[in-house]
């Protein structure tokens, strides 16, 4: 069914059988400071001037029309801190379990965040082995050309190895951010449609 991919607790499973509603949970992962909240805020349509006091962790829901079809994404902005404190590990473990799709973000200006992205990809694969979950690798801060530490080709090559999609974005310039979320919707649909076929 259309809902088979949406690992949804109470609520949406009861939604009407006309099949109009499609809800998918998208989790943003990545090092502190790479731009996850900035990307989530653009998704949610929050202006930068309002964004300074957002709470660390949040979820945003929006319905996108992609290729003439509506899909609702619930974007979870995770808030793991710089130093992964012990009692925060459960947050990441939880997020690793509940996503219908994942956006793994690194900053092109910080090689260590690129390495963290690989680790996250490996962790995800281990935890969700049997499932074919859509994953998009995102190199953010593409506007900071002079500070670039990770080449576009490296990001692309990494995505090939990890069998996921890749895009470079700039949250500051809003460059490729809508393309990113549309890409997620398309990846989700590809898997849904191949399951139904």
Residue with smaller CB distance to Mg ion, 138 or 188: 138
| Residue 115 contact among ligand GDP, Mg ion, none, beta carbon within 5 to 8 Å by kind | none
> Does 172 interact with ligand GDP (rule: CB under 6 A)?
yes
Please state the closest distance from residue 132 (CB atom) to Mg ion, in A.
28
Please state the closest distance from residue 38 (CB atom) to ligand GDP, in A.
3
> Does 29 interact with ligand GDP (rule: CB under 6 A)?
no
Let me know: does 109 contact 127? Beta carbons within 8 Å: no
Candidate list 29, 38, 134, 168; residue touching ligand GDP; CB under 6 A: 38
Candidate list 22, 23, 26, 35; residue touching ligand GDP; CB under 6 A: 35
> Does 177 interact with ligand GDP (rule: CB under 6 A)?
no
Report the 10 Å Cβ neighbour count for 99: 24
Candidate list 1, 32, 65, 70; residue touching ligand GDP; CB under 6 A: 32
Candidate list 27, 37, 73, 99; residue touching Mg ion; CB under 5 A: 37
Distance separating alpha carbons of residues 11 and 23, to the nearest angstrom: 11
Residue with smaller CB distance to Mg ion, 36 or 141: 36
Quick one: three-class SS letters along the chain?
Answer: CCCCCCCCCCCHHHCCCCCCCCEEEEEEEECCCCCHHHHHHHHHCCCHHHHHHCCCCEEEEEEEEECCEEEEEEEEECCCCCCCCHHHHHHHHHHHHHCCEEEEEEECCCHHHHHHHHHHHHHHHHHCCCCCCCEEEEEECCCCHHHCCCCHHHHHHHHHHCCCEEEECECCCCECHHHHHHHHHHHHHHHHHHHHC
Residue with smaller CB distance to Mg ion, 55 or 145: 55
| Closest residue by beta carbon to ligand GDP | 35
The stretch near Mg ion (CB under 5 A) out of 35-43, 86-94, 110-118, 124-132 is 35-43
Residues at the contact surface with Mg ion, assessed by CB under 5 A? 36-37
């Amino acid at each position: 069914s259309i809902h088979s991919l949406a690992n949804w607790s109470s609520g949406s499973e009861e939604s009407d059988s006309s099949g109009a509603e499609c809800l998918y949970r998208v989790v943003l992962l990545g090092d502190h400071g790479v731009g996850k909240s900035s990307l989530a805020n653009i998704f949610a349509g929050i202006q930068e001037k309002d964004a300074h006091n957002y709470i660390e962790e949040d979820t945003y829901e929006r319905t996108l029309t992609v290729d003439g079809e509506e899909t609702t994404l619930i974007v979870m902005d995770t808030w793991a801190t710089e130093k992964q404190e012990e009692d925060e590990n459960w947050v990441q473990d939880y997020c690793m379990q509940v996503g219908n799709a994942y956006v793994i973000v690194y900053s092109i200006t910080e090689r260590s965040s690129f390495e963290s992205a690989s680790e996250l990809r490996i962790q995800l694969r281990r935890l969700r082995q049997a499932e074919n979950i859509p994953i998009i690798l995102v190199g953010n801060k593409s506007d900071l050309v002079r500070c670039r530490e990770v080449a576009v080709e490296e990001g692309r090559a990494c995505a090939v190895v990890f069998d996921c999609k890749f895009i470079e974005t700039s949250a500051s310039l809003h460059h490729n951010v809508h393309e990113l979320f549309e890409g997620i919707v398309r990846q989700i649909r590809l898997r849904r449609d191949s399951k139904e076929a």
